[in-house]
Amino acid sequence: MAVLPIVEVPDPRLRLVSGPVDAIDAATRAFVADLIETMYAAKGIGLAAIQVGVDRRILVIDLQAEEDAEGKPVRDPHAYLNPEILSVSDELSVYNEGCLSIPEQYAEVARPASCRVRWQDEQGGDHEEDMDGLLATCMQHEIDHLNGVLFTDHLSRLKRDMVMKKLTKMRKMA
């Protein structure tokens, strides 16, 4: 497994619409393992393939909500290949979202509180599930990446400009 470099704004690859995964083979599974390793190394809870420069419809999520006896997060990563949102709720929920491609910047984003998602796993199995809470938010955030959409696109122009100015200032100080 390898930790891959994460693409950051304003890289134009983040605006690409990712293509489908046609073959789920050993190379795809190895890439998924690298994506998971990269997500953990960056201390994220989700990562889309395009965030490491690969324009394929693959994302990984691990909310790491549970802790073991020593207080360390229990790792339970999941890979989603060719995910698609089938339906969303009318009810919205607001989360303070961040993004590994927009480091150390956060903003409140309103998204549907629940969604129904279809995807394939790394073995090619088909799945469909209703998701809510943080999982629904994370799934929508990562699928947005596959469609060339960033969480800042859900903000008002004023808030988006503030986030980008803070990012520019942080980069200058580094």
Is 142 among the residues known to form the active site? yes
Question: How far is the first Cα of the chain from the last one, in angstroms, to the nearest whole number?
Answer: 29
Catalytic residue among 37, 91, 104, 142: 142
Sign of the C-alpha dihedral, residues 46, 37, 62, 31?
A: positive
Q: Where are the strands (E) in the chain, listed by range?
A: 46-48, 58-61, 78-88, 92-99, 102-112, 114-120, 126-132
DSSP H helices in 91-156: 133-146
| DSSP code for 155 | S
Residues tagged active-site? 142
